Structure 1
Amino acid sequence: MYQKIDELRKAFWHLRHGGLKQVRRWNRNRIAGSLESRKHRYLPSEALTSSSPSLTQSWQAIANRLETSLSAADVRQYRNFFAQGWILTNTPNPDVSLPEHWKSLGFGAWTCQFDPDLEVHHVVHAEGEYEILLLGQATDSAKRLHTSKSVASELLKELSSSLGWDAFDEAVTWLGGRFVAIGRRSSSVRIHVDAMASRSCYWARQGGHLVFASHSILAAQAIGDVAASGSRWVLTHPDYHNPAGKCLPGMVSPHDAVKMVIANCALTIQGSEISHRRFFSTPPESLSVAEAAERYLSELRFQMDAALAHRPKTVFGLTAGADSRAILTATLDLLHTADVSAMTYHFFARNADHSREDLLGANRLANLSNLKHRVLDVSPRRKTHAFTSMYSKTFPTWARFPTLARTYYEELGADEALILGIGGEVGTVFYRDREFDKITPEVLAGKYTQSAFQHDPRLIETMTEYMDYTELSEENSAGYDLLDLFYWEHRMSTWAAYGYSEADFGPLVVLPLNSRRIFHAMLSLPFKDRLRRSVYHQLALWSGISA
């Protein structure tokens, strides 16, 4: 009787802290723990051992898997707010409520505090005049550098062996991965984000106080200004509608006093001066489809090979879409060798036709590819204080996709890497209508939303500010179409990166397409070949697998 009371108490504890999902998981583990005793209750040990040893082994394998298959929520217990976060300030003790377990290091006259779950590499030149702080995962295919540690050392070498920032900029340009790279030359600092700005860098200043951070709220709190009227205006605007979910336009940030470092731009701090300048200036080439496909294939395989070494287990986000199929075709042998599982999520509560068809198509691909297929239900879950508290503290002004973030957190493991095939449309064509004499703020507002909100004067004003801030103009385009750059830089830096930050609560998010070598190759094709996704068709021809 006392044992049953104790089990009920434990069940209620799990119910309060994680809801029915956590109760079921605890109960499965409890049952697995007593599996052996229940076996002996029905069959004698001799019979199990002599007549069916393989069954015993199978049962034990399941019991072991139940015992070790812990979700990120099980491991982190809803305490990892600002997950994989960091903050860099020129004052030692910013007025920010950070998790107690965060670590700290000095970076010249600056102080960096960071989540231990974030991979951080800090290297200093012997003379102390040069420093590199690399946050996240970075690779260099040309130099065969698979790890952030080796990349950080190479960046320091480039920075300390040349005058100015050009060598450092060029080295960062061709890195793959998901990272923020910060270099220091004496008192001057330069901050780079990865090719799609997928690991965000927000920044703010108040007088002489400068702060750079992974999350908008950290930067806002550090300068004592958490006003968010701009994001509230966008998200509650009566004319703004987007069935796929809303995002923030132009220079509108989650907090009014905070800005972002945008893809293909770098932030330089020299004394009291801060400049945000476009640095990517390598023009597209004139490639054949076969040449572009060969570059795509080579770079993607390198990035995937590096990605598969990040965690003991890996999950590949599989859809029935062209980008996902191309990645699968290009790296299938690597996925098999690493025993990767495919994963697709679906809104079972809504069960929309397009989502259901995508799930069935992904399942067919997984079956044909001999990959285990995990299906996650992202239907709304019962609200719990534990997740809601952690999420709202990390993202207090804008919730992009919290149900998906929670699903990843409660279904995938902290020891898993989640590979997402986002980014392919940078190289194909996202904005197909290009019949414009000139790209203006009004044009960009129309690309941002097709709703009546596109005509709002304040929206057009923030698009004007965005074009100035990112130096988005024909003169600075390096020969790329401005609409391609706008999709690449605006949509990836804001809409996409915010989603990755939400997913950081759980597994490690990896983006094997996040490389300018891939984007440059695909953008070096004629418009018609990009529109046809000719690179993907070439891969299908080489593989002999029908698209």
Structure 2
Amino acid sequence: MPRFTPYPRGFVLSPDPIDTQRLPPHYRASWIVDAWHFAHDPIREPALAVDEATGWFVLVHGTCFAVGDEDVADVAPWLLAKCLRSESEFLDALDVLAGRHVVVTGDPTGATVYQDAAGARSLYYSPAARLVASHAHLVQDIAPHPPTPPELGPTTVTATWDLTPWDGILALLPNHRLDLDSWRTQRFFPRRSNAYAQWPVEQRLDLLEALWHRELDALTAAFDDIAVSVTGGSDSRVVLALSRPHLPALKGFTYTARRDDEGNAWTRSLSRDERLVRQLLDIVPMRHEFFVHGDKSAPVGAELTELLRRNSLGNHGRWLIPHYNRSLPGDDVIHLRGNAFEIARGYYGPTRDNDTVDEVRRVFTEKAAQRLADGSRAELTDRQRDHVDSLLERLGYQEELWGYHRLDLFYWEYRCGRWLAEMLNENDVSFDTVMPVNVRAILEILLSFDLEDRAAGVAFAELINRTFPVLNFVGKNDDRNLYEQVRDAHDSGTRSDGSAWLEAGMRVVGEDGTVLEDGVAADQADLQLPLRHFVPGRAAARRIGRPAGPGTLTFRFHSPYVSPLAREKFIYRLRVNGQVLAEVDGAAWAEMSYVTVHNLGAEDTVDVNVAALATMTRPSWSTATRAYLDHLRFTAREADGPVRVATSNPYTQYPVLTDEAGVALRDPGLVSTGPTQTGAGSP
């Protein structure tokens, strides 16, 4: 049933007696080995194992299953046995734990706190108050702290590493443990090179599937109802494919927009999800329900709003909570999500050349610095800079990381360990949530693939192909299914009448025109700026081929992304002989545009490019640059003047070009071209 009590599924831990008057009234409190005061929401009892000879103990609280090759009925005594043998065995055991949980090890004199692999169970601590708790507000309820100094900048979960709105209340991050003697954190992963990188691909995927199926077996045995989020994206598709044997036992849900609400990019994305999911439901044996944004039959209400405000530092989808409560009202419900797959997707653009502390600092600055009125980011404040430098050292980014890319770890710890954890706290009012990929061994396997393969999603496509191949047929974030995508890429009837064509592959150029890469493939598009080149001055270009001779070129151009908030991040340009004759902001227009280039000479070359105007680090920005060119046609005719360019896009600009003396060569939309001319607008 819905948990209309504060901090559901939460806990508090301290070496000192906790003032029970400040605890949620329904929490139960007890002592562990007469040394550690532990209080928790009684919806889930902790598992405790104690070695009477040494006083050593292991406490596990939350959803936790061991999914390695050992048969484990009770996780706490199993972990205790590992711990008593060696730290190495204990840490290896943590690598095969699934779920969302906290693990505490220690004896009457000291203890250490660990999270699940992705930090899905948020953990906050205050060295001054000697408190650890599941929720930042819960620490503040028990031991009030002053606000975090404003000169440290934003303290939202999307803009900081370990800060909270309260000075002295900090977040524990994935891959780190908290020592309750010193109240300091220490990195414990990675602790060796990725062993899976040397395994054959088939063997890696075999192990991943085995770990996943053991986890789903445990979840279906432990819970009456299992819900799964279903979207039109890739992560959701992998969850469905790997969970195929269990699909009849799952209940899927998808949130969507009202039929009359497609007014912005978010609601259009929801509507596309609904269309794709309806295709999936034709082949997936699953109970399913759509939750409609704007459905007033399930209001949030003031009581629930206040409860959610205290439960989470974030605000992801609070309108969904009443829908969850109405659709899945039982106490024994678990919710599956696919988000943590993002850890292995290279979201912050890792390359072989940017595995540096400076690059981590740069990306953090892009995310955390204050946004100015013009949309740019301010420099970090002195306090922020000092804090970041201290964190980079304290979190071990300066140390040997055994071949793991710093930007991968940064995304894992900075993004998933904060934003994702708080999103799950928001859902706790309805049900507990686990991510089946949230097993460190699974994440290690996915991170063992080459950077290029990870950027292309090779492992994910292979997993679908091995387990439920027909799911690869339905488009991922694309209304077209696989056949339609292939058809549209090769059907000369729509691509071209044969008189003009796109030359194979893109060419990526630098600010001075130097070719950085050639023959680059776009992802499901004709033109796209790769994330690794999303820095000012770089552009991806696609040349349009045609027969020799003068004439007129026409084609249709479509860039589906539009957002007023995303202006001045990238730009599309039409060039003749390297001169920019027309350009348009990449986020300005999402409709089809019809382009004419008239009076082309026999030797003139034409290309379309997309150029970066700002440095962007999220893969979604590269996706936003996708563009499509079709209906290419070249009509031979003698030129009757200078080149003329016209488009139906109302946001198109026509730069005025000048000769070497500074004299304008054309009116807007016109230019005299020739192989010897130069223009100032080339990327």
TM-score (ref. length: structure 1): 0.76
Aligned counterpart for 2:220 among listed residues 279, 302, 308: 308
Partner of 1:171: 93
Q: Mapping of 1:225-304 within 5 angstroms?
A: 225-229=145-149, 233-234=153-154, 247-270=158-181, 273-280=182-189, 281-284=191-194, 285-304=197-216
Equivalent residue letter for 2:208? Y
Aligned-partner Cα distance in 1 for 2:92–2:294: 44
RMSD of the alignment, in Å? 2.7
* Percent of aligned pairs with the same amino acid: 21
Pick one of 125, 131, 153 that aligns with 2:51: 125
Partner Cα separation in structure 2 for residue 262 and residue 516 of structure 1:
14
Which of 452, 460, 464 aligns to 1:536? It is 460
**How far apart are 1:191 and its partner, in Å?**
0.7
Is 1:412 aligned with 2:321? no
Residue 504 in 1 paired to residue 414 in 2?
Answer: no
Equivalent in 238, 243, 247 of residue 335 of structure 1: 247
- Give the drift of 1:228: 4.7
What is the CA–CA distance in structure 2 between the aligned matches of 1:231 and 1:331, rounded to whole Å? 47
Deviation for aligned residue 1:481: 0.5
Structure 1 CA distance for aligned equivalents of residues 252 and 155 of structure 2: 34
1:467–1:546 CA distance, 2 compared to 1 (3 A): same
Contact 1:220–1:226 (Cα < 8 Å) also in 2 = no
| SS of residue paired to 2:418 | helix
Pairwise CA distance, 1:476: 3.0
Shift in alpha-carbon separation, 1:113–1:476, aligned structure 2, 3 A: same
Task: For residues 386-437 of structure 1, give each alpha carbon's deviation from its aligned partner in whole angstroms, at most 9, with x where no partner exists.
Answer: 2123223434x65444333454344432332111112112122212264537
**The one of 29, 38, 44 aligned to 1:104:** 29
Provide Cα deviations, 1:351-404, integer angstroms capped at 9, x if missing partner: 421121112212321231121211123448655222123223434x65444333
CA distance in 1, matches of 2:48, 2:385: 41
SS at match of 1:453: coil
**1:193 to 1:110, Cα distance in 2 relative to 1, 3 A:** same
Q: What number of residue pairs does the alignment pair up?
A: 451
Secondary structure of the residue that 2:421 maps to in structure 1?
Answer: helix
Q: CA shift at 1:176, angstroms?
A: 1.8
Distance 1:306 1:532 in 2: 32
Matching of residues 430-441 of structure 1 within 5 Å: 430-432=347-349, 434=351, 436=354, 438-440=356-358
Instruction: Report the Cα distance in structure 2 between the residues aligned to 1:96 and 1:160, rounded to whole angstroms.
Output: 37
For the pair 1:215 / 2:131, whether they are aligned, the reply is no
Counterpart AA for 1:424: F
- Structure 2: distance between partners of 1:291 and 1:494: 32
Q: How does 1:450-489 map to 2 (within 5 A)?
A: 452-453=376-377, 455-457=379-381, 458-473=383-398, 475-489=399-413
1:319 to 1:504, Cα distance in 2 relative to 1, 3 A: same
Q: Distance in 2 between matches of 1:444 and 1:310?
A: 41
Q: Distance in 1 between matches of 2:96 and 2:39?
A: 27
Structure number having the greater helix percentage? 1
Partner of residue 659, structure 2: none
Whether the 8 Å CA contact 1:139–1:145 is kept in 2: the answer is no
After TM superposition, the structure 1 = structure 2 runs for residues 183-202 of structure 1, keeping only pairs within 5 Å, are: 183-202=105-124
SS class of match (2:221): coil
8 Å CA contact 2:162, 2:173 repeated in 1? no
Deviation at 1:250, TM superposition (A): 2.3
Mapped to 1, the partners of 2:357 and 2:30 lie a distance apart of: 44
CA gap of 1:466–1:402, structure 2 versus 1, over 3 A, is: farther
Change (3 A) 1:258 1:407: farther
Structure with greater strand share of residues: 2
Shift of 1:515: 0.6
TM-score normalised according to structure 2 size: 0.62
Name the counterpart of 1:370: 285
Determine if contact 1:217/1:226 at 8 Å carries over to the other structure. Answer: no
How much does 1:132 deviate? 1.1
Structure 1 SS opposite 2:147: coil
Note if 1:422 corresponds to 2:339.
Answer: yes
Change (3 A) 1:286 1:296: same
Query: Which contiguous aligned blocks of 4+ residues in structure 1 show a shift greater than 6 angstroms?
Result: none
Aligned to 1:136: 62
Q: Give the counterpart of 2:301 among 384, 399, 410.
A: 384
> For the Cα contact (< 8 Å) 1:230–1:254, is it kept in 2?
no
Residues 156 and 398 of structure 1: is their aligned pair in 2 closer, same or farther, counting only changes over 3 Å? same
Structure 2 residue runs of 5 or longer lacking an equivalent are 473-683
Name the CA distance, whole Å, in 2 between partners of 1:499 and 1:360.
Answer: 25
- Mapping of 1:11-22 within 5 angstroms? none
Match of 2:255 in 1: 345
State the distance in 2 between where 1:250 and 1:380 align. Answer: 36
Question: In the alignment, which residue of structure 2 is the partner of 1:445?
Answer: 364
Tell me: CA distance 1:379–1:249, structure 2 relative to 1, closer, same or farther (3 Å): farther
* SS of structure 1 residue aligned to 2:160: coil
Aligned residue for 1:477, secondary structure, equals coil
Structure 1 residue 226: Cα displacement: 5.0
Aligned to 1:45: none
Tell me how far apart the structure 2 counterparts of residues 355 and 342 of structure 1 sit (CA, whole Å).
15
Relative to structure 2, which stretch is displaced further, 297-306 or 175-184? 297-306
Gaps in structure 1 of 5+ consecutive residues = 1-71, 237-245
Amino acid paired to 2:184 = S
Cα distance, 1:229 vs. partner? 4.9
Give the conservation status (yes or no) of the 8 Å contact 1:247–1:495.
Answer: yes
Q: Which residue does 1:43 correspond to in 2?
A: none
Deviations 1:200-220 (A, max 9, x none): 1110022xx410000112223
Determine the C-alpha separation between the residues in 1 that align with 2:469 and 2:93: 37
Q: Are the equivalent residues in 2 in contact too, given 1:439–1:482 (CA < 8 A)?
A: yes
1:293 CA displacement:
2.2
Q: Give the deviation of 1:97 after TM superposition.
A: 2.7
Measure the CA separation in 1 of the matches of 2:378 and 2:217. Answer: 42
Report whether the alignment pairs 1:514 with 2:438: yes
Which residue pairs with 1:182 in the alignment? 104
CA 1:227–1:544: 2 relative to 1, 3 Å:
closer
Contact 2:60–2:103 (CA<8 Å) still a contact in 1?
A: yes
Query: Is the Cα–Cα contact under 8 Å of residues 134 and 180 in structure 1 kept in the other structure?
Result: yes
Do the aligned partners of 1:199 and 1:214 also contact (CA within 8 Å) in 2? Answer: yes
Q: 1:184 to 1:437 in 2, by over 3 A?
A: closer
Q: 1:119 to 1:260 in 2, by over 3 A?
A: same
Deviations along 1:62-113, one digit per CA (max 9) or x if unpaired, are: xxxxxxxxxx34xx4x3x1111110011221337632322112212311101
Q: Indicate conservation of the 8 Å contact 1:427/1:522, yes or no.
A: yes
